[in-house]
Structure 1
Amino acid sequence: MTDKLVLVTGGTGFIAQYCMLALLKAGYRVRTTIRSPGREAEVRAHLEVG
């Protein structure tokens, strides 16, 4: 387990979400950027399912 923080840009994209899931499973803390704040819930939901 690590306490390192990783920034992933384009958090609404398929590849970015795949990368974020892999990072979270590896124990990293993840931050991301999204263009539209209205899509935050969508991104969070995808990450919870993974």
Structure 2
Amino acid sequence: MNSLLYLVAVILVIGWILGFFVYSAGGLIHILLVLAVVAILLNIIRGRSI
């Protein structure tokens, strides 16, 4: 499950980077970035607590 969460976070970051240069989705890209950062932080927190 942790690898899946990390994969989703990486996909969201890549989508944000692509959207940042294309400017096609506007504010949605920044929401994707926030979700990716939250997913990475959850992965780090869960990894340390186990």
The structure with the greater share of residues assigned to strand is 1
Q: TM-score range by the shorter chain?
A: 0.3 to 0.5
TM-score normalised by L of structure 2? 0.33
The structure with the greater share of residues assigned to helix is 2
TM-score normalised by L of structure 1? 0.33
Structure with max Cα Rg: 2
